[in-house]
């Protein structure tokens, strides 16, 4: 390897570490109306450009791993949907964003050259997630901050909950196979704190199911311990917390509001199904959901008030925006990562590999469930999701090398 190629590899590595640190946040600069540039966006493209130069200087990298076929099919579905979109520029913006998440960021992560680098990335990812949880705890303790705004480094409780639905099962999976007791204590304390500060009902449901599956995969003792602790938290601790979490969580997902009207969230879901029925193949255009949903309510009752931000159903949004084939491609992307992780969990012999694989499978399950109540392909969530998918691919790569 030449000196220039070695320098580029170091720059790419440190840039990748920086991406892991700055990615879990929605905060950014509004460059044009309703289009924000986060800290991670220019960093990803800059590091990706360096990586491409490194590929040219170092021919061995031409054997790099590439994103799954489902990524390209999903992007193609978005391109097709943009052709007849009311606002095609919005579709172009989202297509570019998904290429950043599942193309550039994924490629950088999945081509980490050695297992030591992978472990360092996972450790940094978990450390950053711990900081986000602690920021959430601090916000939770501030009375002046409303329940909806308890979002840590994110904009609100729904996106924060979506992030926790990914990282909490990952932490649990790693902790279940972690030999160091201090690291175990750290990870389980973060899991507990996350459960206590989550104010999104959909996110708590997603975490509960994912944690149940993860602990059950570890064994009966782990599952029983989780079930006892979780029930104590749910029935004893949450009702006694300062924000009355039990009532807040119920209100966030309840079917009827205080006026005995169907919550606008679910009315919008039904309108979205009408949109899907009328545009099943190509949808109304990626990024054009909100511009079209108003025309599909028909005679549906519309309660007073506004829909809470980030409370749509991601699957209905995607199906109505890019069509059912596009939704199938996105689900295929999640399923590909989940199956890779599950296979590695079954075949791995080393505890670290088993814990990471189990955590990744749980993270993707938690994300998939939480998307029922929140559209989580947003700033701050997209890059961490790409990281989780990359961890699944890296585990699969480790299995191939071992064979």
Domain coverage including residue 90: 3-254+308-402
Domain assignment present for 288: no
Judge whether 335 lies within some domain.
yes
299: left (phi over 0), alpha (psi -120 to 50) or beta: alpha
How confident is the model at residue 403, as a pLDDT? 47
d(CA 235, CA 220): 22
On whether the CB atoms of residues 71 and 63 are closer than 8 A, the answer is no
The answer to the question of residue 268 being in a domain is no
pTM of the predicted model as reported, rounded to 2 decimal places? 0.96
For residue 260, tell me if it sits in a domain.
no
Closest CA to 270 of 298, 289, 304: 298
**φ and ψ at 358, to 5 degrees?**
-65, -40
Burial status of residue 365 (CB atoms within 10 A of its CB: 0-12, 13-18, 19 or more): buried
Give φ, ψ of 32 to 5 degrees.
-140, 165
CB 191 within 8 A of CB 168: yes
Beta bridge partners of 32: 35
CB 49 within 8 A of CB 104: no
Q: Count structural domains, the chain.
A: 1
Residue 205's pLDDT is what?
98
Q: Which residues of the chain have pLDDT under 50?
A: 62, 403
For 363: left if phi > 0, alpha if psi spans -120 to 50, otherwise beta; the answer is: alpha
How many whole angstroms separate alpha carbon 235 and alpha carbon 241? 11
99 in a domain, yes or no?
yes
Tell whether 75 is covered by a domain: yes
| Distances 141 to 56, 230, 241, 244 between C-alpha atoms, Å | 51, 21, 10, 12
- Residue 294 covered by a domain: no
């Amino acid at each position: 390897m030449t000196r220039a190629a070695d320098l580029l590899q170091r720059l790419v590595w440190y840039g990748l570490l920086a991406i892991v640190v700055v990615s879990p946040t929605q905060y950014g600069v509004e460059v044009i109306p309703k289009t924000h540039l986060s800290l991670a966006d220019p960093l990803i493209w800059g590091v990706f450009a360096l990586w491409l130069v490194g590929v040219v200087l170092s021919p061995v990298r031409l054997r790099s791993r590439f994103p799954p076929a489902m990524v390209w099919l999903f992007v193609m579905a978005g391109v097709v949907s943009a052709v007849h979109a009311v606002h095609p520029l919005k579709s172009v913006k989202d297509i570019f964003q998904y290429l950043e998440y599942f193309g550039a960021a994924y490629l950088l992560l999945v081509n980490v050259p050695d297992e030591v680098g992978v472990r360092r990335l996972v450790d940094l990812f978990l450390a950053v997630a711990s900081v986000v949880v602690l920021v959430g705890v601090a916000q939770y303790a501030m009375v002046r901050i409303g329940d909806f705004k308890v979002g840590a480094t994110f904009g609100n409780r729904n996106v924060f909950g979506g992030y926790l639905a990914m990282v909490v099962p990952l932490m649990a999976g790693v902790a279940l196979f972690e030999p160091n007791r201090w690291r175990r204590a750290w990870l389980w304390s973060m899991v507990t704190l996350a459960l206590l500060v989550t104010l999104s009902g959909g996110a708590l449901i997603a975490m509960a199911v994912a944690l149940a599956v993860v602990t059950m995969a570890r064994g009966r003792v782990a599952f029983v311990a989780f079930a006892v602790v979780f029930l104590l938290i749910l029935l004893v601790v949450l009702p006694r917390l300062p924000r009355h979490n039990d009532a807040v969580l119920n209100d966030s997902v309840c079917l009827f509001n205080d006026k005995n009207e169907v919550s606008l969230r679910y009315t919008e879901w039904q309108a979205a199904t009408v949109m899907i029925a009328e545009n099943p193949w190509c949808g109304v255009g990626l990024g054009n959901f909100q511009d079209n949903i108003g025309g599909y309510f028909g005679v549906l009752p519309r309660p007073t008030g506004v829909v809470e931000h980030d409370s749509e159903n991601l699957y209905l949004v995607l199906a109505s925006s890019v069509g059912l084939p596009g939704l199938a491609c996105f689900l295929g992307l999640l399923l590909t990562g989940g199956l890779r992780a599950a296979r590695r969990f079954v075949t791995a012999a080393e505890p670290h590999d088993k814990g990471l694989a189990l955590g990744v499978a749980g993270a993707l399950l938690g994300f998939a469930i939480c998307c029922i109540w929140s559209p989580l392909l947003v700033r701050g969530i997209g890059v961490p999701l790409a990281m989780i998918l990359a961890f699944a691919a890296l585990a699969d790569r480790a299995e191939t090398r071992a064979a």
